[in-house]
Chain A
């Protein structure tokens, strides 16, 4: 069974640009969450989607947005990039109706903002 797939794995952007990251959850998983990981702040929750609906959002500015498609795939977008947005962005999926906190993470998309 394939795991959570995130693309791209690495990307470099400059300040002011925008970026879109993609996540394909494990087959059958309908809940997708996004986290930002940095050395200073650790793992910070961005948002959570279930059945195309955002059901939870972390304390990030409006420049961070996301969506989920009918096939459960998800994307997140960061507009007007800042240096501080450099981080590893992790997507995680979990089973349908299973609000257990058991998340299956992808390997992440490492974003560098210059």
Chain B
């Protein structure tokens, strides 16, 4: 019940296209949903995050769409660029006095020039 399911495992998008990565969860006690971006040889870096009382959050070319009733959320990367090629992880935080995150399995994004 503490899992976060992420799809697809890998994704190839043409430059300028839209990249979409989906995540689903079961535990309604999750109260914070971040997305992390990881480049080879680096640690994950926070990209964008959303709380369940908001249906959408946009920061530049990155948008999170959140569907509380379906227990699903997704990351949209508009106008994808080769520099966006990385592994993306969705995550969820269990409410309470903790920063423990449950991570999805990751999506390897390749943006072709």
Whether A84 sits at the interface, judged by CB under 8 Å, is no
Count of A-B residue pairs with CB < 8 Å: 66
Contacts A33-B100, A45-B101, A55-B97; A101 near B49 (Cβ below 8 A): yes
Contact digits for A83-110, partner B, Cβ 8 Å, 1 yes 0 no: 0000000101010001111111111100
- What mask results when residues 26 to 39 of chain A are scored 1 for a CB within 8 Å of chain B, else 0? 00000101010000
Contact A99 B99 (CB under 8 A): yes
Check B103 against A101 for contact (C-beta < 8 Å): no
Complex partner residue of A100 from B32, B104, B106, CB under 8 angstroms: B32
Min distance, Cβ A33 to any Cβ of chain B, angstroms: 6
Annotate A45-62 by CB proximity to B: 1 below 8 A, 0 otherwise.
100100000011010000
| Interface residues in A, total, Cβ within 8 A | 26
- Does A4 touch B at the CB level, under 8 Å? yes
